[in-house]
Structure 1
Amino acid sequence: MDNPSLQAVSTLVAATDLSPASDHAVEQAALLAKQWDAELVLLHVFNDGFWATIKSIYEAERWAGTEPVLVARNRLSQQVRELAVRHGVRVRGETRTGRAANEIAVFCHEQNAQLLVVGEHGEDWIGDTVIGGTALKVLKRTELPVLLARRPASADFSSVLVATDFSDNSTRAAQLSVAWFPKARQQLVHAYSVAFEGRMRLAGASGDDIERYRKDEFSRAELKMQEQIQALRANTAVGKLLVHGYPAAVVIREAERSAADLIVIGKHGGTTLDERLLGSVTQNVLYQAGRNVLLVP
């Protein structure tokens, strides 16, 4: 298949550091697993280097109790049992040792997973302080969609905002969104602008000149948007939104305005320039949106 990410989800992985913040990810993954009748695998990566640093800072030898790795495994097993009972899903737990991004990427490949779900913040302040950062690192290492779960788990994403720059990648992201969340109200949003508008003004371009160029950009974007929506072949109507402005700011603002449950965004665009641009846009949306974000390779 040309785009493995469009496969029906049969296995999804939820990465957890067993902190309260990662519980959002685990619960959201469980609800999706139930909805898709998929197997859920909880993965905990134990960073022994982290614990060595902790021991060097604090008087850990005076602490009573079991070795941290055994405690982590026991807590993971308990969480697996509770999820199976509460949600009625097929779930199992696995542990690995090492750096989070590398171990998660390798594990997801071994499991042939179609989706990775992560939480926002972890407690590994020495390494991957923000698990969102781990999500981007995993995305660089694998062709696997990554869902950053920020909010309390929802059984259904009813409103989805899909960011598009009309690249092949953003088309795939939109296709995945329509395929995975067919009952949601889907809306494509594109931010358009006039290249070098500021310098054009310095060179003497009038306000009328700039407005004419903006209208030209809008017309081109509108045509591309219509072509992309037609390419989706969605069974339900897909909304479209063209807004003048910087892409990340537009996506974040429109997600707030529409109360979107989920933002879907591609990792990069088609050309080298697009890749740099949407790469920065993706990171800005990931860190600033305050909403669930699905990153699509």
Structure 2
Amino acid sequence: MNRDADAAQQVVVGIDGSDTALAAARWAGEYAASTSSALVLLHAVAGLNWHFLTEAAAPQPTEGTDDAVLGPVEAAVRAAHPDLDVRSVTVRESVGGALRDASQRARLLVVGSGTDEDILGSHVVRITHRAECPVLVWRTAVARRTGKPLPVVVGIDESEDSRRALTAAFETARALHAPLQVVHMWELAPAVGLGYSQGLMDWQLLDLLQTQQRRRMDELVAPLAKEYGTTHVTEVFQDISPAKGLRDLSREAQLIVVGSHGSGRIATSTLGSVSQNVLSRAECPVLVVR
């Protein structure tokens, strides 16, 4: 396998010494093992501006577990997955810049949501917006496990970005051995006109819209369901915004998947406009796909 192909199979985790980053690395280790990927633990140490130095003089990435921040994390991941290809890398670069650069060569970037006190936690939104691969923002899911895998939930509209999110959701659900819940949310007033707000409803139009949305969802989902063979359900939720609907579903999910941009024919079904809302307020990990 050539170097570029090998890099495309890397899962990169940002490590800052926090408990959240350790938990994110544990999740990433499980995912990497399930997808036959290498795991890269990346610790960025901001320092002097090295741009005035020659290339030969500039500090280069170092590998190994001598770093006191990376060592315990690598040990924990290796204990859980002895056969996993784990690499620890320390770079002298800003956190945002290091993770953005790493995202150019990764299949998935994983960061802990953390808090503003954590080095990575204060950079999550910026990292997610600048990354060039899907980003998994890890946080502890509030849903109680009952012995069965919690579902992966993906919100879709009719955009190309949403199609990519749907594909990533099927891939992720398969890797996690989890059922997939495909959902589409829309608000009635923009869909059926001013009559709704005045207490009037064109029920025939409403039924037609619901039928059309269900058909479009089925057309998107059917080919992927056949390809991945993942257990799934599709649902249309009416009179609820995508942001609120996905936040509500996050309480019973192990992962929410959203697209980073995109807009559907119904203006309020714009996943790009809610991705940041879901990213900051969901009650489980969030995968943002671009």
**Shorter-chain TM-score tier:** 0.7 to 0.9
**Displacement after TM superposition at 1:218 (Å):** 1.5
Which residue of 2 is the match for residue 84 of structure 1? 78
Q: Distance in 1 between matches of 2:210 and 2:88?
A: 50
1:200 correspondence with 2:189: no
Gap runs ≥5 in structure 2: 1-5, 49-64
Q: Distance in 1 between matches of 2:99 and 2:268?
A: 24
> CA contact under 8 A between 1:148 and 1:294: conserved in structure 2?
yes
Q: Distance in 1 between matches of 2:89 and 2:115?
A: 18
Give the letter aligned to residue 210 of structure 2.
F
**Displacement after TM superposition at 1:274 (Å):** 6.6
1:262 correspondence with 2:255: yes
**Displacement after TM superposition at 1:9 (Å):** 7.0
Give the letter aligned to residue 116 of structure 1.
L
Residue pairs, 1:1-297, within 5 angstroms: 10-48=9-47, 73-88=67-82, 89-109=84-104, 112-122=105-115, 129-139=121-131, 142=132, 144-151=133-140, 158-182=150-174, 183-194=177-188, 196=190, 200-201=194-195, 206-209=199-202, 211-232=203-224, 233=226, 234-244=228-238, 245-256=240-251, 259-269=252-262, 277-297=270-290
Give the letter aligned to residue 32 of structure 2.
A
Q: Distance in 1 between matches of 2:66 and 2:140?
A: 24
Please list the CA deviations of residues 162-212 of structure 1 after superposition, one character each: whole Å capped at 9, or x if unmatched: 11013222122111221233232111100023454797149x854233x44
**Displacement after TM superposition at 1:103 (Å):** 1.6
Give the letter aligned to residue 39 of structure 2.
L
Q: Distance in 2 between matches of 1:238 and 1:96?
A: 41
Shift in CA distance, 251/265, structure 1 to aligned 2, threshold 3 Å:
same
Q: Distance in 1 between matches of 2:229 and 2:219?
A: 16
Which residue of 2 is the match for residue 59 of structure 1? none
Aligned-pair identity in percent equals 25
> CA contact under 8 A between 1:21 and 1:119: conserved in structure 2?
yes
> CA contact under 8 A between 2:157 and 2:263: conserved in structure 1?
no
Residue 223 of structure 1 aligns to a residue whose secondary structure is helix
Give the letter aligned to residue 239 of structure 1.
V
Scaled by the length of structure 2, the TM-score of the pair is 0.76
Scaled by the length of structure 1, the TM-score of the pair is 0.75
